[in-house]
Each structure stands twice: as C-alpha cells, then as structure tokens.
Structure 1
Amino acid sequence: MHQRSFQQSPCSISVSKGGQGSSRKMFFVAGAKNTASSGVNERRLIYQKFREVNLLGKKKTVTALKPGEDRAILLGIGMILSSVMMYFVLGITILRSYAESAWTEEGLCVVLNSTITADINCSYNCGSDCWRVSKYPCLQVYVNVNNTGRISRLSHNEETQDASLECFYVPRCQKDSAQMYTMIMNISERLKVNQQVPCYYDPSEQQETVLLTRLYDHSVIFHSLMWPSCIFVGGALIIVMVKLTQYLSRLCVEIGKIKR
C-alpha cells in the first residue's frame, strides 16, 4: 500500500508542474496582449487629442477671421456707396455743365482787335454789411475763327460769358482799381503778341461769341471721374476677395471631410 501511493505521487507532481507551466505561458500571452492593446489605446487617445486640438485651433481661426471678413465687406460696401455719391455730385455739377455747353468744337482763332472800351463799375466787400464801388476796364477782343471770315467776340470762359456780354475778362472786384487795370492791360498785350490762339466755338453758330478756355474740358472730366472710379473698383475688389476666401475655406473643409 505504501509502495503504490509512492508510485502515483510522481505523476501527480508532473501534472502539477505541467499545469503551472501552461498557466505561466497563458499569463505571459495574456500580458503581452494586454500590453499591445493598451499601447494601441494610448496611441488612439493621443491621436484623438491632437485631432481635437487641431479642430479647436481651426475653429478659433475661423471665429477670429469672421469679424475681420465682415469688416472688410463693410469697408468695400462703404467705398462703393461713397463712389456712387461722388458720381451723383459730379453728375449734377461738372458733367451737367460739360454736357450743356454749346462750345464743343475746338478751332484756331486769329486776334483781329484787342482794345479797352470803357470802365465798368463793380462792388467789393469791405466788411460785414459793407459794400463799396470800384472800377475795372472792359477789354473787347474780336477774332477770326479758323480763317473762315467769321468774326466773333472772344470771351475767357463760360462764367465770363454769363457775367458780361461785352468784356473779354471780368476780374474779381478789388479796392485798388489800378491793379485791375494793370492786369487787364497785361492780358491785352499777350493777346496782341500771340495773335493765333486755340478757341472753342459753337458748330451750330447759335452762339456768336467764342471761348478761349472751357471750365470743364476733357482733361477735367477725366480727372474728376478717375478718383471715384478707383474707389468703386477698390471696394468691389475687396468684396470679391473676401467672398473668394470664404469659398476656398469652405471647399477645404469639405475636402477634409471627404478624406476622413
């Protein structure tokens, strides 16, 4: 009896040893799997954190850019509205005077006569509710338009034509009448020296007088319309650039969603 039990004991020992070995192997395998899975989880967490930080940064950038874009659009709209107002003011002042002017054709006038005919009374301001009388000489100039034999009276511009039907130039009334006389005599001498001068006349010949210069010629119209046009184009470009930037940002976001 003692011998049988002694013989069975090694088997039981061997089985117990085998069980311990297999349990150790299973423990190491399970530990390795747990370590690998924990590493993958950590990587996923790190990736998610980076992704959240990236999305948060993009949201902050978008929220920071939106007020700037709104201000830029308001600036563009303000520039366009101001240019439209400038067009309106120019239309009722300069462009209207230019369009209604009868002296549209440019020609060459030959000075025939330049003489002072009489003294014209004028009044100047000497203070609050104070007006005094002075005099200036009336210079009459007659010219031949384009060597056609048509003799007309020469006037300085449209304002002079409206102020006086006889005098070539109406100076600003001053207290010193001698100074005005000297200025008119200098103009007369220049016209006698330069007998051929460019002038503007009415092609329909409804206006008997011709003008030496126009208040609003082609160069004045061009420079007057250039600045509001530049402001209008600048405002429109600002709005277009902002809208293009918004469209490209939305397109990038959609592309990013498709790739995910």
Structure 2
Amino acid sequence: MPVTVRVLTPKERLVKFGITMLCSMACLGAIMLVVLGITIAQPAVVRMRTHQATCTVNGSHFDGENPERPSRFSCSCSLGRYDVCISTYECLVISVTFRTEEGEQRTADLVESEEDLGNECAIAPCSRDHEKNDEMVEEYRELWGRVGQTYPCWYDPGNPSGAARTHFKSSTSEVFHALFWPALVMVVFSVAFCFAYLRFTRYIESTLPMTESNNPWSRFQDEPEEPGDENPSQPSSRPKLVFENFA
C-alpha cells in the first residue's frame, strides 16, 4: 500500500487540536452523565418513590453471635486531605413495624436516611476514635430504639426490608437537570466532532497529489490483454495517510 506523508501546516494543526478538544468534551459529558446519574438522579428517584408511615419500635440489639461482645464493623475515616484511617463501630439493629398505604403490616430494620435503605445497621459513625463511635451508637439507641416508641418514617414499596427515619424532598426537575445537561453536552460535542472530523479528512484528501489510486478515471483504463502480461496494472488502493506535525 502506498504511503503518502502529509505535513500539516500550523493552521491545520490548530484545526486538528480543536477536533481533539471536541472529542474530549464529548467524553467529559459522558463521564458527567454517569457520575450525576449515580450521585444525584438515582437517590432522587428513590426519595420520590418513598411513602410516609408511622413506625413502632419492636426492639433493638447489636449484631453478632454473642450479645455481650457484639461484632464490629470497619470503616474508612479521614485524617486530612490525603491521609485515611481505619475505624470500627458496633452495628445497631432497630426493628420497627409500620403499616403501608395498602394496609399491609411490615417489619423492617430502621436506618437513618433513605440513601441507607438496604443497610442492616441503623447508624454507621466513622470517627477515628472507635470509643466515640460507640458513644454515638448508644445515644442513637436511647433516642430512637426504645421499645414501643413511635415516630414518622419513610419506606420504599420496592424495598420492604428497610424504613428510613429522615426524608429529603426531591422533584422531577432535580432528576431532569442532573441528566439533561450532561447528555446535551455529550450529544452536541459528539455531533460536532463527527462533522469536523469528516470535513477535515476530506480536506486533507483533496490536497493529496493525484495518483492512480485516487484518480476517478483510473477504472476506465484498459485491462491487460493476456493473463500473463508482465506489466499488470497497479492495484487501485487508496494511499495511507500519515500526518506528521513538524514545528
């Protein structure tokens, strides 16, 4: 395959850089779409799906086989901008009962917020001092884990195993803005990149010297008269472009 070396001019190198930036912005929009979808849109959908109920505490206990020495859960705590530490806390389980809007009575594990639905522990403090974590767990048990205590809670109809003590309002506009703007950036810059790349490629091809491979009249040339012709026509393959950037 013939190779044609094409040296880009400073103006063409600038255009090539702009096309690269268009591709980068499209990739950035895709990354932001995934990040905002996980951190904002998905929790907002869960919050909009929850319903309010009245929870009654059935009892509370610490997770573990031995009640006198409950098992401890580990977590990553922060010591500053770059340093991290490992701490532990006791897993407090608060069992509550509530009645759904359909009249069904459910028993579930209480958690602090709707983002924690599905977790077993009611609270997960992660201070670097594990004794302080234990104190926070005990205080939470005294406030919200007394048998017979009632208070408002929120549940997800699709997740019957948990109930949240706190609720944060969300709307469809929050989900819309979290998904629409990064998707718009991704689509607009993707279309702009494809258009600019095709135009630039066609421009470069139009500036190449005319050869048999890119001559539109080459297909009308006569074929060899005999199969054993010593000078067969060259294959009509397009030249391979090699862009070299020289200062």
Tell which has more relative contact order, 1 or 2 (C-alpha 8 A, sep 6+).
2
| Higher helix proportion (structure 1 or 2) | 1
Q: TM-score, normalised by structure 1?
A: 0.42
Q: TM-score, normalised by structure 2?
A: 0.44
* Structure whose alpha-carbon radius of gyration is higher: 1
